[in-house]
């Protein structure tokens, strides 16, 4: 089953918030309960220490009564139990009661409770034991046997006669009001936590929508690209990572669209370039079959020239495809760029002589060495020289040297040059300055594209500008220099 991204994000966010709030509130309630319990214990210990002196005489009398086989008279403690919660606040009254004749009349007990029309306050949770832990008096239903903890000593005439436990000093002796307070606080905390959780879920819903909506847009756009619509774009308004993703997607689709246009253009140009020599060959053959042209050496030579053009174009396309392949590799050697230029120039002397153009090679006296393929660098020099011979009016300068950027090869001519607005396109496949796309005036349109790929394969750069000396085009190649 496919779970939407928004549901996953919202679910994960809700679980994290729920666990975090549950942990914080649970630990907070536990901490509050423990802190309150410690506070209550300390409070009741202080209360026990405040009233313990007033239980001494009664506890002594109770122990003596038990020794004689009689039950202690707990009713004598009624006035003390009805004094309310703030034991220490009634110390003056207890002292008056301890000095009264009624107190002594009851042999250590407190005066009996005087009837009153007012409702007496709640009976205090209290437990009094003798020195051995035997219960003398209790209001909590303690039956003995369980651990009581540390009680407050009760003395009579400096003699230890028992231990007093008040309120939380007795395990599990929290009053109903205290239990209600703790439970009510816990319930209110959990209710507030539930409201916070709902608010967090609503916030998470908005955040999820903020994330998922652009992702859905990207997904829909990707499906359009899959269907072949490369012109699709997504909004780039956001300034976060999703905005970067949108900009990256748009850049990718722009590149794909440009590549698709280029592919279509290559197919169209290739078809055009291949159709021209094939059409000429077919036309000549048909005319020779019909007797318009005689089947002689001259016409066969013309067919051979068109066939050579066709073979050359196919070889250039193949070379360009190999150079552009990501798997392309070549054998590298350390080469002297000046000697390589001189050798290639000498190989092209017949073509230079036929053109009647002066070609001058200028090179540094030092050793300008590069690492590369002899075959590919010869092809680079040949293509640049052929391009210069095609457009030069009378002179060509070939310069080889070294500078801070590396080894430099520059080919300049005194031709018409290249307009500045077309210099970025001059290295594209099948690009010609001549709109008529004539082979005689513009070649196949692949030579400079091959030059660019050869230079790129050697880790260099190629550019075109206006020659400062001759006024025509100046092609500059920078290659990494090998230092010896």
**pLDDT tens per residue across span 133-155:** 888 888 777 766 666 778 889 99
Q: What is the pLDDT of residues 35-94, one digit of tens each?
A: 878 888 888 888 888 888 888 888 888 888 888 888 887 776 766 665 444 444 444 444
Task: Give Dmax (Cα) for the chain.
Answer: 162
Distances (CA, A) of 18 to 3, 21, 192, 384, 421: 21, 5, 13, 72, 63
Tally the C-alpha atoms within 13 A of residue 417's C-alpha that lie toward its C-beta.
12
Instruction: Enter the DSSP assignment of 472.
Output: S
Whole-angstrom distance, CA of residue 19 vs CA of residue 41: 32
Q: Which CATH class is domain 247-324?
A: mainly alpha
Q: Which CATH class is domain 333-482?
A: alpha beta
Domain boundaries, the chain: 5-177, 247-324, 333-482
Of residues 313, 401, 389, 309, the one with CA closest to residue 345 = 389
| Phi and psi torsions of 126, nearest 5° | -145, 145
Task: Answer whether residue 301 shows pLDDT above 50.
Answer: yes
Q: Give residue 465's pLDDT band: very low, low, confident or very high (50, 70, 90).
A: very high
Task: Answer whether residue 178 shows pLDDT above 60.
Answer: yes
The pTM score is 0.52
């Amino acid at each position: 089953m496919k779970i939407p991204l928004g549901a996953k994000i919202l679910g994960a966010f809700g679980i994290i918030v729920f666990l975090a709030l549950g942990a914080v509130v649970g630990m907070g309630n536990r901490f509050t309960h423990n802190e309150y319990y410690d506070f209550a214990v300390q409070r009741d210990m202080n209360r026990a220490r405040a009233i313990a002196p007033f239980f001494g005489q009664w506890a002594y009398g109770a122990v003596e009564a038990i020794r004689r086989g009689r039950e202690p008279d707990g009713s004598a403690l009624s006035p003390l139990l009805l004094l309310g919660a703030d034991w220490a606040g009634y110390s003056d009254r207890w002292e008056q009661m301890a000095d009264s004749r009624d107190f002594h009349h009851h042999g250590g007990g407190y005066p009996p409770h005087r009837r009153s029309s007012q409702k007496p306050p709640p009976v205090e949770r209290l437990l009094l034991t003798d020195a051995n832990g035997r219960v003398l008096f209790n209001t909590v239903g303690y039956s003995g046997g369980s651990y009581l903890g540390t009680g407050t000593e009760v003395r009579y005439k400096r003699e230890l006669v028992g231990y007093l436990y008040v309120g939380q000093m007795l395990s599990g002796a929290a009053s109903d009001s205290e239990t209600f307070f703790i439970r009510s606080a816990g319930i209110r905390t959990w209710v507030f936590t539930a409201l916070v959780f709902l608010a967090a879920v609503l916030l998470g819903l908005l955040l999820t929508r903020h994330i998922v909506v652009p992702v859905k847009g990207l997904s829909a756009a990707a499906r359009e690209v899959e269907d072949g619509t490369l012109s699709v774009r997504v909004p780039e308004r956001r300034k976060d990572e999703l905005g970067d993703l949108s900009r990256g997607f748009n850049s990718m689709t722009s590149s794909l669209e440009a590549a698709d246009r280029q592919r279509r253009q290559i197919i169209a140009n290739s078809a055009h370039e291949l159709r021209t020599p094939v059409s000429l060959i077919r036309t000549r053959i048909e005319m020779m079959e019909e007797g318009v042209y005689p089947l002689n050496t001259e016409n066969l030579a013309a067919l051979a020239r068109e066939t050579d053009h066709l073979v050359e174009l196919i070889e250039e396309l193949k070379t360009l495809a190999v150079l552009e392949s990501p798997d392309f590799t070549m054998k590298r050697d350390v080469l002297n760029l000046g000697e390589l230029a001189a050798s290639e120039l000498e190989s092209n002397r017949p073509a230079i002589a036929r053109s009647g153009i002066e070609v001058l090679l200028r090179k540094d006296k030092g050793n300008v060495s590069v690492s590369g393929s002899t075959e590919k660098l010869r092809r680079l020099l040949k293509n640049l020289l052929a391009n210069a011979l095609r457009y030069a009016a009378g002179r060509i300068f070939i310069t080889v040297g070294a500078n801070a950027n590396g080894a430099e090869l520059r080919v300049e001519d005194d031709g018409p040059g290249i307009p500045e607005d077309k210099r970025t396109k001059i290295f594209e496949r099948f690009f010609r300055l001549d709109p008529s796309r004539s082979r005689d005036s513009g070649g196949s349109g692949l030579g400079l594209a091959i030059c660019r790929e050869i230079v790129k394969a050697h880790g260099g750069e190629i550019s075109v500008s206006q020659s400062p000396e001759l006024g025509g085009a100046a092609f500059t190649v920078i290659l990494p220099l090998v230092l010896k």
